Structure 1
Amino acid sequence: MTGRKDAQAVRKRPVRPVSAGLVGVLDAIGTGAYVVDEEGCVIGVNSRAEELLGLSADHLVGHDAHDLLHRGPHGRPLPRTQCSMRQAFHAGRTAQAEEDYFARADGSLLRISWLITPYAGKEDDDCTLVVFHPVEPVPESGPPEEAVVASLTELERLALLAETTTQLTSTLDADETLRRLVGLVVPRLADWAIVDLITDRDEVWRAVVVHAEGEALVHRDDLQGPMPPVPQASQMPLSRALRGVASTLAGPQTYDRAPDSGIAVEQRHLFDATGMHSVAIAPIRSTREVLGALTAGRSENTVPFASADLPLIEDIARRAGLALDNARLYQRQRKVAETMQNHLLPQMPGVPDLQMTARYLPAPHASQVGGDWYDAFPLSDGSTALAIGDVVGHDLEAAAGMAQVRNMLRAYAWSQAEPPSRIVERLDGAIQHITDVTMATMIFARIEAADDGTWHLAWTNAGHPPPLLISQDGMAHYLTAGHGLLLGTGAGRERPDATASLPPGSTLVLYTDGLIEDPGQTLDVGLDRLRRHAAALVHRPLTAFTDQLLRRVRPERNDDDVALLALRIPARGT
């Protein structure tokens, strides 16, 4: 016996739970599949694997997959040194085998073919996906079956679907989803891939026309673009697919008849321009609506598509539909969030003789909103208030907290003719009781012109990176005075004030830590990078200075939002 006895003998250990995204990947695979962690223990399994092995997920998860399942042809445990699957697992590479054996719960052996490949999801640590399929006996006689797409074996077909799922579910960018989709279809299944999408206004847009030329994928931009509307009564293949009716095979002869619509005319032109002799067209659907159609076409490959090929094309199109729908929903959310953020952040006030500009860049993987903010506004005594801050987080909650802090600061600064330190002390005491903000950093300053042509700056710093002052001749240094605790500590200490004269032609930069923090490097490295680039760019107009500074200084590995406020003192004689 090789099944239940071994399953009970193999030690089970606690494993980390898998994400909902990984569960979805396993459920979408049409054959047995499981995922192992970096130690080779099963952390997720689909229902088909449970059925094939006769073991429940509870019996599989937490066990070493090799020890529990892998056997030699006579049912004996397979030494790890002889296991090609184990070798591929440790090497972190993709591999497959046409014949191997797994132990089932009833003691019998399951003859399988398998594919193993590394998998890295958005929410999961690196893990490894194993897809396996029972090897069926080859019939000795009988009529030949219709050809499967590009002569793919059953294992290759299932491996392609598994790859499609992992590729398309690991991005939330619609353009990247389309790029990956055509890369999966061409040249493995077809010489051409065409994607027609239905826009939010129910218009059809031919988004992709790609041709395989050797190893390269060539976009035919001249064949892409707007398409005529989809007629409801048309029985032509593309029209039916775009209505979500059915998948269809077609060829040039399909469109030899008199066209019934403008979209049929475009299809006739497509066949003429590409030389395709056979295509398979499948609807791209989400769970809510039809999103478009996928067309796989052959020109150089002389074997026409057959009806047996349609299920695979349909499966790929269905997975593409789910991925595109997720990407669209995510992009709509980002657009709403971006609009919200733009309304939350203020316009710069006009201050005579003083140039001022500001920028906000969202975190690359967040929803276009965050806790970084800037502000500038006139005060009742004629001076101008400046502020830069960072509420912990980069999500909607952080953005809401940022708006609360900024509005409270404005109210205190306008109504209280006090030094910056006293204003921030009042703010710190208030946010602990009337907001949900737990921690925040900020600089609050006031600036005003002096009679001698210089400008006077007074500020207090609540745990924030120091302002950077660059003289007209490129001398740059940080204003490190006035530094106190961040907001939200409840320490109740008095905050310091600091003052400085800003010479004519100088530039002052207030910024948040997303501009200088780089994982794996010290903060001093980021501060030095900002100082050197600011000094080199100070001769440029303020707008160009600000844009170039962000482009050069923001770390590539940055995963935080960035706010930046820059102002320039007028030079003498201007």
Structure 2
Amino acid sequence: MAERGREPVEALGALGALDGARRRALRLAGLSAAADPGMDRFARLVTRLLRVPVALVSLIGEDRQVLPGMVGLPEPSAARRALPLSHSLCRYVVDSGEPLSISDARADERLRPGPDVRELGAVAYAGTPVTDGSGLVLGALCALDHTPRTWSEAELADLEDLAAACSAELRLRIVSAQRQAAQNVLETARAAAERAQGDAERLEHEAQAGLDHAELLLRASEELSQTSGLEDLRRRLRDLFVGVGKPSYVGLLVADDNELHRIPDPDVVHSVEHELLTLPADAAFPSARAMREGRTVFVPDREALVADYGPEAVAFFDRMGFTTVLCLPLWGSRGLLGVLVTCWTNPHEVSTPERAALTAASGYTAQAVERALYLDERISIARQLQAAMLTDLPRTDALEINALYQPAADEEMIGGDWYDAYHLPPAGSGDVAPLMITVGDITGHDMHAATVMGQIRSMLRQATLDHPPYSPAAALTALDVACSVLPIDVGGTLVHARLDPPGNTGGWALTWSNAGHPPPLLRTPDGVVTTLLEHDVLLHPGLGAPRRTETRRELPPGSTLLLYTDGLVERRGNDIDAAIAQLARLLARHGARPLPELLRRISNRMAEPPPGDDVVLLVLRIP
């Protein structure tokens, strides 16, 4: 039988450099100079089917051939499972891409001196290409015999069939490796996408946190600059800290000597404010430490609280459910004003930007606290002054008398509303003394108005007592003259009245003069309410000494007389006459009730919404 592949053998030159496609295919197949069970199986099949002593699965590399499948090769080549290219007949198969069979390599002048014949004893050779999925030749499946041999067509066909099966195995491995590589690439891409998404979410979170922090500072600068007292400040703090990292509780503690006093929320009572309203400066609490040391105190978790603070603090925070606490000192122009406490129920990592934003917000809070303390102090003094100016009502069994003073809704508006009541000298020994009553309103809502009110009240008393028989009109005329001469810038309204004790009719007599004031209301025993409309001009320095008149009216037993200031009936956008009519209906309905209850009902009904001006009510009842 003629030798197959004779012409390609004669035409072969040196093996060229391994191209990139072959390198990739060999790498993906995962075969090297190491025994591979699958490839060894193909070598064993060749020895059995072709009855040869040596069979190889040879893969050609750039500088050597590796033998992952091998049977019958002598040592040391068998141990190394690799041969130099000079020992490789398989390289001719790879270069030509065609099967090659040689009966006796010694008879070929080009092969006889080769190391294949000399060292390996490869006398007869048959080899068939092993390829990948694209037909690229990677190596050869070959059979070697130590004696000359003529290869039959059946033997060469069996070798080709085994080579095809070996190629299929290589292709399967390459495809699996490619699939695994693709899976690795996919997983790497997925991991990269997840990292990118995580980075994007983190950046979005940081951007949102930055916006929240900027919004916090903007709201703090706007909201806290408008506070009018500690209660108002505490109310605004409740909704100030929103957005990323919103605390579960924000507390305001104000320093007073060696204590911290918690300012409770006026609208939402928190359990903290039930249990702990005052803390001594030496208490083993984070807020007390912030006060003592004048610095920010941060407690990240319960372990830190246990390590650095007392058992009382630990038990308290456990009851409240707080885990993370940040205490910020509030510094004012005169020193430490208090501590702003922010608490979280879940562990919260306070980032550097968040701490900076909270510190800046605490600065605005400190300014608001300082302003509130100043206003509260000023208002307290003014309220005390005004309360001192209000008359203690005279005690008498002859009349029932009661009064109510209600400050304006805006506590800064210290008004000039007042009431007055005092006895006059009786006509004779043992007689019932007459009673002078006054309700007035000096224009203005400040300390000046309150001061002028005190002066006018005293001057009117003096004018009344200096002009027997104690005419209300005469006293008002004297007051007008005094105000036109003295440097008193006074404007306002008032009702000045005298109540004379019962005569033959059994009732009291009312004589009054009205200087531009809302009309008094009189309820008679039958429940009918009369509006006492008679009045003159108001008090004003530009009017000089106008003519004052007075009116007299008998008050039968059981009558109720109500005097009030305009803060009760005057509202912006409302009709004052309609409000006076409503007041008259309330007096008609409830006028028989005890006087304190009557005043309370009138105040509750007429003071909604809360008045923007002071309100004075004075009520008398004839027994």
Instruction: State the TM-score, normalized to the length of structure 2.
Output: 0.61
CA distance in 2, matches of 1:523, 1:178: 36
AA matched with 1:290 = L
Contact 1:244–1:290 (Cα < 8 Å) also in 2: no
Cα 1:147–1:294 change in 2 (3 A) is farther
Of the three residues 235, 251, 254, the one matched with 2:304 is: 254
**Cα deviations by residue, 1:79-112 (Å, 9 ceiling, x for unpaired):** xxxxxxxxxxxxxxxxxxxxxxxxxxxxxxxxxx
Residue 430, structure 1, aligned to residue 482, structure 2: yes
Contact 1:443–1:459 (Cα < 8 Å) also in 2: yes
Cα 1:188–1:219 change in 2 (3 A) is farther
Residue 184, structure 1, aligned to residue 229, structure 2: no
Cα 1:358–1:324 change in 2 (3 A) is same
> Deviation at 1:256?
2.5
Match for residue 322 of structure 1? 367
Contact 1:174–1:327 (Cα < 8 Å) also in 2: yes
Match for residue 5 of structure 1? none
Greater Cα shift, 181-190 or 454-463: 181-190
CA distance in 2, matches of 1:238, 1:426: 62
Contact 2:294–2:336 (Cα < 8 Å) also in 1: no
Contact 1:207–1:224 (Cα < 8 Å) also in 2: no
AA matched with 2:223 = Q
Match for residue 169 of structure 1? 225
Cα 1:423–1:185 change in 2 (3 A) is same
AA matched with 1:267 = A
Cα 1:490–1:256 change in 2 (3 A) is closer
AA matched with 1:311 = A
> Deviation at 1:478?
0.8
Contact 1:371–1:390 (Cα < 8 Å) also in 2: yes
Of the three residues 461, 464, 468, the one matched with 2:517 is: 464
Higher helix share: 2
Match for residue 331 of structure 1? 376
CA distance in 1, matches of 2:269, 2:543: 61
Of the three residues 453, 456, 469, the one matched with 1:405 is: 456
Of the three residues 568, 572, 580, the one matched with 1:519 is: 572
- 1:68-147 alignment to 2 at 5 Å? none
Identity %: 29
Residue 241, structure 1, aligned to residue 290, structure 2: yes
CA distance in 2, matches of 1:484, 1:308: 65
Greater Cα shift, 552-561 or 492-501: 552-561
Contact 2:420–2:439 (Cα < 8 Å) also in 1: yes
Cα 1:488–1:441 change in 2 (3 A) is farther
CA distance in 2, matches of 1:293, 1:278: 16
User: What RMSD, in angstroms, separates the aligned Cα atoms of the two structures?
Assistant: 3.1
Contact 1:209–1:221 (Cα < 8 Å) also in 2: no
Cα 1:242–1:148 change in 2 (3 A) is farther
> Deviation at 1:282?
1.7
CA distance in 2, matches of 1:165, 1:258: 34
Contact 1:338–1:368 (Cα < 8 Å) also in 2: no
Of the three residues 376, 384, 395, the one matched with 2:446 is: 395
Greater Cα shift, 189-198 or 406-415: 189-198
**Cα deviations by residue, 1:110-151 (Å, 9 ceiling, x for unpaired):** xxxxxxxxxxxxxxxxxxxxxxxxxxxxxx9xx99x999976
Greater Cα shift, 488-497 or 442-451: 488-497
Of the three residues 312, 315, 332, the one matched with 1:266 is: 312
> Deviation at 1:228?
4.4
Greater Cα shift, 340-349 or 380-389: 380-389
Match for residue 475 of structure 1? 528
CA distance in 1, matches of 2:380, 2:540: 31
Contact 2:217–2:360 (Cα < 8 Å) also in 1: yes
> Deviation at 1:346?
0.7
Describe the SS at the equivalent of 2:480.
helix
Contact 1:248–1:310 (Cα < 8 Å) also in 2: no
Contact 2:254–2:263 (Cα < 8 Å) also in 1: no
Contact 1:168–1:323 (Cα < 8 Å) also in 2: yes
Describe the SS at the equivalent of 1:565.
strand
Of the three residues 437, 441, 456, the one matched with 1:386 is: 437
Instruction: State the TM-score, normalized to the length of structure 1.
Output: 0.66
Match for residue 67 of structure 2? none
- 1:491-530 alignment to 2 at 5 Å? 491-530=544-583
CA distance in 1, matches of 2:411, 2:562: 25
CA distance in 1, matches of 2:465, 2:499: 14
Cα 1:439–1:180 change in 2 (3 A) is closer
Of the three residues 461, 468, 478, the one matched with 1:417 is: 468
Describe the SS at the equivalent of 1:184.
coil
Contact 2:519–2:532 (Cα < 8 Å) also in 1: yes
Of the three residues 285, 289, 294, the one matched with 2:340 is: 294
Residue 365, structure 1, aligned to residue 416, structure 2: no
AA matched with 2:345 = S
Contact 2:214–2:357 (Cα < 8 Å) also in 1: no
Match for residue 592 of structure 2? 539
> Deviation at 1:183?
2.1
* Aligned residue-pair number: 416
Residue 566, structure 1, aligned to residue 619, structure 2: yes
Describe the SS at the equivalent of 1:348.
coil
Describe the SS at the equivalent of 2:216.
helix
Of the three residues 351, 355, 379, the one matched with 2:396 is: 351
Greater Cα shift, 244-253 or 146-155: 146-155
Residue 284, structure 1, aligned to residue 333, structure 2: no
Larger radius of gyration between Structure 1 and Structure 2:
2
Describe the SS at the equivalent of 2:354.
helix
